[in-house]
Amino acid sequence: MSAPPSSPAIRMLHLEDSEVDHQLVKHALRREGMLFSIVRVDTLDEFEEQVESQPFDVILADYRLPGFTAIDAWNTLRQSKQLPPFVLLSGAIGEAAAVDAIRLGFSDYLLKDNINKLGHVIRRAIEVTETRRAKEAADMELAASERRLGELAEHLQTSIEQERAAIAREVHDDIGGALAAVNLDLAWLARHHRDATSAAHITSAMEMLQHALGASQRIMMDLRPPILDQGLVAAVQWLGQSFQKRTGIPVVFHANHEKIQISKAIQLVAYRTAQEALTNISKHAACSAVQMELSDHEQVLTLEISDNGAGLSKPALDKPKAFGLRGLSERAKTVGGWLDISSRSGSGTSIILSIPLSPDTTDTTSGSAS
């Protein structure tokens, strides 16, 4: 098979101490119509000088040369970022040695008796190397893209929490203050208007006001949970109690310590994970019981929320719009953690958050909460 006229010449370095064998290589390649340029060297110093001075598309090497072998030449190239394909072309190599060379990273080997196949071997070695390089470049780009997405997710989560805190302050300071003032005015009206009609309207207004005050407190709690100031154990336990009160589904909570002292960032990730998991349970699980476990055993913070409900099928876990679960996973990564979801249709679901802790971020005291 002849190379197209527009194809660039293949640059070859031939490590060979026999000029006769070198000429045979050139003859075999010309017979196949291959466009090439080739340089022959027969010492290790010359080999190193050539590979440092110019790029080659492929290296051909006899296995055994005076004072060294092709393995020695290979070892001088192993640290190269763009290692060209390295093909053994030898008449003095056993199959075991050839296999060992391939395991080291040689592209291929060919006996000189089969030199008529050399063009095919060279083209295949170059093609395989180019494919490998393309895959490595794609893998590197994918890793960089995932890293950028992770940084973006972390930035978005931080921005969201900052915005939530700002809105919570506004609700507390502006709306809360206004509702408190209205409450005082209604109380004054209740004291000074004794007729039945006015009293009924005032009572109705005060009931609506209490509802608004309760709603604003719940909004503030969701936006920026002050319960976290009492520690993660108390916060997660409060979430479970609130869930049980709201849904009527029994929640069993257990922690291996009464206090788990960790950074605010990790506290918030764990709290939001528990909050989202309970929200999903109330919407989709159709369960009759929930268990929540929190521990810092062996310097790993572990939060597990499980239910005995309908469970999730694999298609449901993998569906493109499962943003809640994906968001939890991305949130975990922002603090070096990960999220595991175990579920089978009809057998309930278990969500496990794991975050490694450094010794200086954890300070526990003995005790338990349940």
Task: Name the helix (H) or strand (E) containing 56.
Answer: none
Note the pLDDT of residue 360.
53
Residue 3 domain flag = no
295/261 same-domain check: yes
Which residues is 86 bridged to in the sheet? Answer: 59
pLDDT at 176 over 80: no
Which has the higher per-residue pLDDT, 131 or 196? 131
pLDDT at 365 over 70: no
247/357 same-domain check: yes
Q: Which burial class, exposed, middle or buried, applies to 146 when counting CB atoms under 10 A from its CB (0-12, 13-18, 19+)?
A: exposed
Residue 170 domain flag = yes
Q: How confident is the model at residue 214 (pLDDT cuts 50, 70, 90)?
A: confident
Residue 146 domain flag = no
Rounded Cα–Cα distance for residues 214 and 233 (Å):
24
Share of the chain above pLDDT 90, in %: 36
94/122 same-domain check: yes
Residue 303 domain flag = yes
Tens digit of pLDDT for each residue in 46-55? 998 998 888 9
Note the pLDDT of residue 2.
47
pLDDT at 335 over 60: yes
Which has the higher per-residue pLDDT, 191 or 118? 118
183/66 same-domain check: no
115/170 same-domain check: no
Which of 194, 223, 252 is a domain's end point? Answer: 223
324/253 same-domain check: yes
Which of 195, 223, 251 is a domain's end point? Answer: 223
Helices and strands (DSSP H and E) totals, the chain? 11, 13
Range with top average pLDDT, 179-183, 264-268, 364-368 = 264-268
Which of 187, 202, 223 is a domain's end point? Answer: 223
319/360 same-domain check: yes
Which has the higher per-residue pLDDT, 178 or 318? 178
* Residues 59, 12 contacting (CB under 8 angstroms): yes
Residue 148 domain flag = no
- The CATH number for 130's domain is 3.40.50.2300
Note the pLDDT of residue 315.
64
Note the pLDDT of residue 31.
92
287/363 same-domain check: yes
- The CATH number for 249's domain is 3.30.565.10
Note the pLDDT of residue 24.
94
Range with top average pLDDT, 184-193, 250-259, 360-369 = 250-259
236/335 same-domain check: yes
Residue 266 domain flag = yes
Q: How confident is the model at residue 364 (pLDDT cuts 50, 70, 90)?
A: very low
Count of structural domains, the chain: 3
187/281 same-domain check: no
Query: What is the chain's Cα-based Rg?
Result: 36
Domain membership of residue 31 as a residue range: 10-136
pLDDT at 15 over 70: yes
198/123 same-domain check: no
The token pair at 300 is 């790993």
Residue 354 domain flag = yes
Rounded Cα–Cα distance for residues 30 and 165 (Å):
75
Q: How confident is the model at residue 90 (pLDDT cuts 50, 70, 90)?
A: confident
* Residues 106, 73 contacting (CB under 8 angstroms): no
287/167 same-domain check: no
* Least confident window among 3-12, 81-90, 189-198, 319-328: 319-328
The one-letter amino acid at 181: A
Q: Of 325, 323, 274, 334, give the one whose Cα is nearest residue 302.
A: 274
Task: Name the helix (H) or strand (E) containing 305.
Answer: strand 300-307
Residue 67 domain flag = yes
Length of the chain: 370
Note the pLDDT of residue 349.
92
What is the average pLDDT across 83-100?
A: 82
Beta strands across the sheet bearing 58-61: 36-41, 10-15, 58-61, 86-90, 108-111
